[in-house]
Amino acid sequence: FLHDAHADHINVFTIDRYLRESKIGRKLNMFADRQVGSNNDAEKRPRAQTAAGPQKSEIAPATAVAALEAFIAGIGSPDRTGARIVVRNGAHGVELSYVLLDPSEAFGELRREARAVVLAGGTMTPATDVVEQLLPRFGRLSRDTCSPAELMKLDPDNARLFSWSHVVSPSHICSLVIESGPTNTPLKFAFQDQQNTLRIRECGQALAALCNVIPGGVVVFFPSYALLSKMLSVWRENRIIERIARRKPVVTEDAQNVLSEYVEHVRGPHKGAVLLSVVGGRLSEGINFSDELGRAVVMVGVPFPSLASPELNERLTYYESIGQKPTMSTVARPAEQSMGPRARSLYESLCMRAVNQSIGRAIRHRGDFAAIVFLDARYAEPRIARKLPAWIAGPNQSVSSCKFGPALARISSFFKQDFSV
C-alpha cells in the first residue's frame, strides 16, 4: 500500500515530532473555535444554545489533524505485539486503521504495580476471553525482568471471576427459547436463512401471538438493520403488521421521535406498544425500559458480528494465534466455518455480550418483572446458552426451550401472577 501510494519514503518519526513540537492540532482547534464564535447570529446567543451548532466543515480541520496525530503516534511508537495497520477501501477512498490487538502489555504494567485490580461491570458476561486477553499464558512481558511476586500477579490462574444474582426474584423473570412458530416451522435465522420468507412469516405470526398475552411494552431486537428491513417488508406484504398493530402500535427505531412516541403509546390509551430495534443500535444500551415500558424483550436471531470487517478478522486471527507458533492456519483470515476454537469462542463472546446488554434493558429495579423471549433455536445450544448471564440462565446455565404452544401458555401464565407481593 505504501509503495502504491508513493509514501514508502516518508519518515513517520519526523512527522510525529513536527506535530508535537508545532502543536498545530491545538492551534487549529483554537482557530476553529474562534471561527464558530465569529459566526454567531446577531443576537450573540451562546454557542451552547444555538440550534444548529458548529458546522461539520468548520471543525473538520482540527478533527482531521487530531486523528492524524493519534495515528502517527501509534505507528511511530515502539512495536507492540498484536499491532496491525488495517487497510480497506471505504466509501470515500482508502481507510487506514491502527489496531492494537494485545492489551496485555499495558495491563501487565498496571497489574505489576498494583496489589489488586478490580474490573466491574453489569454486562461483562462472558468474561473468560477478557481474562485471557489481559493475562495471557504467553504474555509479552519479559519473564526475566519480573520478580516471583510479579509473575504470580500475571498468572491468569490467579484471576477470580465473581457473578452475583439479579436484584429481582427469579420468579419475576420468565426466559424461554422458542424453537418453532405457530405452524411448527423452525425459527432459526442464520445468515443463509434470512431470505426465507416462510420463516420470516412464522416469526411475525409468533410475535403477533405473543403481543396478545404480554401486557405493556414489548421491545424486539434484530441482529441487523438489513434483517429488520426484510422482515418488515414481508410482514407488511402479508398484513402481519396490521395484526400486531390491532393489539399494540408498532414503532421502529428509525422514527424521528421514537422514544417519545413509544412511551406515549405504552402509557396512553393503547396501554402498550411494540418497539422494533437493532442490537448495537441506539436503543440497545444505556436506555431503561423499566416497568410497563419493557414487559418483554424479544430477541430475533443471534447477532453475530460481520466477518466482512477487517478489524474483526485481524482480532480473531490474533486471538487464535496466542501461544502458538505462526502457521498458515493462524495467519489466514478466519471464516466462520474454519475458525479455530479460540477464535470461535471470542466470536461468540462478542455476540453474546451484545445480547446480554440488550436483554438487560427490561429488568431495572427490585420490583420489576419481564419475559425474555428468544425467537431462534440456536439460543438453546449449550455453547450459546452458557454465555447468557446467570440471572437469566439459572444454576444449570440453560434456558428452557420449547415449541410455540407450550411457550405461549407459560408466558400467559407468568403475567397472570401477582408481582406486588
DSSP 83-119: EEEEEEEETTEEEEEEEE---HHHHHHHHHH-S----
Rounded distance between C-alpha atoms, residue 135 and residue 129, angstroms: 10
The count of other CB atoms within 10 Å of the CB of residue 190 is 14
Q: Which mean pLDDT values do the consecutive 10-residue runs of the chain (421 residues) have?
A: 61 78 78 66 44 41 68 65 65 72 77 80 74 67 59 71 77 91 92 91 95 94 93 95 94 84 91 92 75 92 89 85 53 60 88 88 85 94 86 69 93 88 58
Rounded distance between C-alpha atoms, residue 6 and residue 168, angstroms: 62
The pLDDT value given to residue 79: 55
* Greatest distance between any 2 Cα atoms in the chain: 74
What are 69's three cell numbers? 496525530
Query: Does residue 175 sit in helix, strand or coil?
Result: strand
Rounded distance between C-alpha atoms, residue 59 and residue 387, angstroms: 43
What are 230's three cell numbers? 426484510
The pLDDT value given to residue 145: 57
The pLDDT value given to residue 204: 95
Q: Check if the beta carbon of residue 61 is closer than 8 Å to that of residue 32.
A: yes
**Residue type at position 55:** Q
The count of other CB atoms within 10 Å of the CB of residue 418 is 5
Q: Check if the beta carbon of residue 95 is closer than 8 Å to that of residue 285.
A: no
Q: Distances from the Cα of 333 to the Cαs of 96, 340, 403, in angstroms?
A: 18, 11, 38
The pLDDT value given to residue 51: 37
DSSP 54: S
Q: Which of 337, 319, 317, 342 is nearest to 328 (CA)?
A: 317
What are 66's three cell numbers? 487530531
Rounded distance between C-alpha atoms, residue 231 and residue 199, angstroms: 10
Rounded distance between C-alpha atoms, residue 325 and residue 44, angstroms: 64
**How do 216-222 and 83-90 pair as beta strands?**
unpaired
**HSE, side-chain direction, 13 A CA sphere, residue 241:** 15
Residues near 243 by Cβ (< 8 Å), separated by ≥ 6?
208
Q: Which of 229, 292, 284 is nearest to 258 (CA)?
A: 284
The pLDDT value given to residue 42: 42
Q: Check if the beta carbon of residue 136 is closer than 8 Å to that of residue 107.
A: no
DSSP 188: -
The pLDDT value given to residue 376: 94
Rounded distance between C-alpha atoms, residue 66 and residue 109, angstroms: 27
What are 421's three cell numbers? 407481593
- Burial per residue of 143-163, b for 16 or more beta-carbon CB atoms within 10 angstroms, e otherwise: eeebeeebeebbeeeebeeee
Rounded distance between C-alpha atoms, residue 376 and residue 175, angstroms: 13
Q: Distances from the Cα of 233 to the Cαs of 188, 236, 240, in angstroms?
A: 19, 5, 10
The pLDDT value given to residue 239: 94
**Residue type at position 171:** S
The count of other CB atoms within 10 Å of the CB of residue 48 is 6
What are 404's three cell numbers? 410455540
Rounded distance between C-alpha atoms, residue 48 and residue 41, angstroms: 13
Handedness of CA 261, 264, 268, 274 (dihedral sign): positive
The pLDDT value given to residue 50: 38
The count of other CB atoms within 10 Å of the CB of residue 165 is 12
Rounded distance between C-alpha atoms, residue 242 and residue 248, angstroms: 10
